[in-house]
Amino acid sequence: MNDNQDNREGGGGEPRMPRFTFNNRIALISLLILTTLFVFLFVRSDRTGMQEISYTSFQTYLEQGRIESVKIVDEYEIQGAFKSGDSRVSLFKTTIPYHDDTLMPALRSAGVKVSGGPRAISPLQVLLEFLPWLVGFFFIWFMFRQVQGSGNKAFSFGKSRAKRYLDTAKRITFVDVAGQDEAKYELQEVVEFLKSPQKFVRLGAKIPKGVLLVGMPGTGKTLLAKAIAGEANVAFFHMSGSDFVEMFVGVGASRVRDLFEQGRRHAPCILFIDELDAVGRTRGAGYGGGHDEREQTLNQMLVEMDGFDTKDGVIILAATNRPDVLDPALLRPGRFDRQVVIDMPDIRERELILRLHAKRLPVAADVDLDRIARATPGSSGADLANLVNEAALFAGRSGKDRVDMDDFEEARDKSLMGIARKSKVIPPKEKQMVACHEAGHGLLHYYLKNADPLHKITIIPHGRALGVAFSLPEDDTYSHSQAWLIDRITIAMGGYAAERIVYGETTTGAQNDLEQATEIARRMICEWGMSPSLGPIAYGQKEEPIFLGKEIARHKDYSEDTARTIDVEVKRIVESALANAEHLLVEHRDKLQLLADTLLVKENMNDDEIRSLLGFPARHRGGENGAAAGSVAGPAAGGTPQGS
């Protein structure tokens, strides 16, 4: 959906007002008429025919008896008239330069009619005094009209900022969403109800008032919402949860009312709220107590969704990746009746997503997307889209006409391990220790029966790691056995053990390995009940302040004796795994040294190259169906963090 096209129409679906409307033209014409009137009055006042004469001439005319009448203005100016036929100019004016005590007696002796009064106001003076105010008022009014007519709505804080979806040339439908068959089935039902409501109404069924899309970031929640907009032939409004809340109190609740009012005017319609957790968090959990702007907004949303004055035909579609922080009243039936889980794609869905994004690329014949799909476990749809784009960038950087398998492999390695820093200069001695460390991780994969197959070893720095050895399972796994976890800890301790065997000491490069091994061992005891001495009991409750939105501590709900027992058990598991790793590496010391020396030369070695080097049989992949795919715990224990 094109955002530029979205902005063509406001929340109410009405066309945006032009910049210069008919009312603005009327105001401009009125201002021009007013200005013309002032100019006309000024010109008219300037054509009175009154002649300016000196005070000396005035006294001479007075002595000659030529003046008929005078008007003394403000004691300083004389305006008068000559006797008829006595002069070409009948009116005159003069200024009294000094206080003249003989003026009035002279006027009386000459028989002149005398009057007085204030100075008349000049139209020019009125224009100069009032014109700035008129222009300022017109300017403010004009700007107010312009802002009101634009899309900013700067003076409409309480109006909804929802944008209406418009059909464009690139219309997204369910066909454009790879995988997620169950989610599409649930949402297709909503679309069918909007298209053919009688099919459900005749059976007494009611459409869900709200559908909540729940899933990890990047799984395609917003994409599914766009697909619903493309499938349904009804009005579709979309906005973010953060658009409701502003610095002004009551704005959020007002926008909620306006949003639902728009929906009722365009019913049947769909209102989509992205990132619902921005406004729908549990009430009473923040610092502000109950009187909080976000809570007022949520209360208004609860009333609009299922209150006394609700109407059918308005469906609320929302998306969030934090359903655990939402208010229970928001999730009850009658509001969000249905929660649709958008899960991480499995192997089949990852391949479909890769093929969907690879359609727009000139792909070489050697590209095996099934192998890439199996080598990217735990990747979301957004991750896979980025992988395809990175492969195209690598091909373009190399000047190729097509994107081949090497480009996809390089893009996958970048997404899994980080960008390769080939220019980083590492001292030879340190590089040897890194090669020994990673060889210790990699070699154990071939002697532990529950370990995942090794995928690749590299001593080229990636991200913050100086070297990486990681494994990928042959199939997607959702739970692990105790034996797999023990082997995982053993592999994590392989680099530490290799350094002790070869150099008699360890380095700071084992920091990440020790953290990973200790974390797995502690969770085995405290969460998964895998300790014979402590039994199947969970120790430590999570403390998760709702207003922070994440776990920050673990409550110690056990005694000091139990804490000591947990520490002893963790140490026992880790030390047992270390002893097993040292035993295997000492037993195969020659292969450890050979692998480390070869890594110093090649810097990168995959599973096939290592098997060929060490004389292991080739791994059967079932026609590439068992090619590498990744573990839930992430890249294998083998990272050597930089600066650790």
What amino acid positions are annotated as catalytic residues? 438
The residue length of the chain stands at 644
| ω into 268 cis (within 30 of 0) | yes
Q: Which residues pair with 215 in a beta bridge?
A: 342
Segments in 369-475 forming alpha helices (H): 369-374, 381-397, 405-417, 428-444
Sequence-distant (6+) residues with CB within 8 A of 319 are 212, 213, 214, 215, 221, 222, 225, 272, 273, 274, 275, 276
Of 200, 202, 225, 231, give the one whose Cα is nearest residue 213.
Answer: 225
Residue 542's φ and ψ, nearest 5 degrees, are -75, 135
d(CA 34, CA 21): 21
CA 478 vs CA 189, 346, 481, 629: distances in Å: 29, 11, 11, 13
Sequence-distant (6+) residues with CB within 8 A of 140 are none
Sequence-distant (6+) residues with CB within 8 A of 431 are 459, 600
Strands of 283-327, DSSP E: 314-320
C-alpha 72, offset from chain centre: 78
Six token digits for residue 20: 């210069």
Sequence-distant (6+) residues with CB within 8 A of 253 are 296, 297, 299, 300
Strands of 91-250, DSSP E: 91-95, 113-117, 163-164, 210-215, 235-240
| CB contact at 8 A, 249 and 284 | no
| CB contact at 8 A, 323 and 214 | yes
d(CA 27, CA 33): 10
d(CA 139, CA 388): 54
CA 481 vs CA 532, 589, 629: distances in Å: 15, 29, 18
Six token digits for residue 566: 């947990």
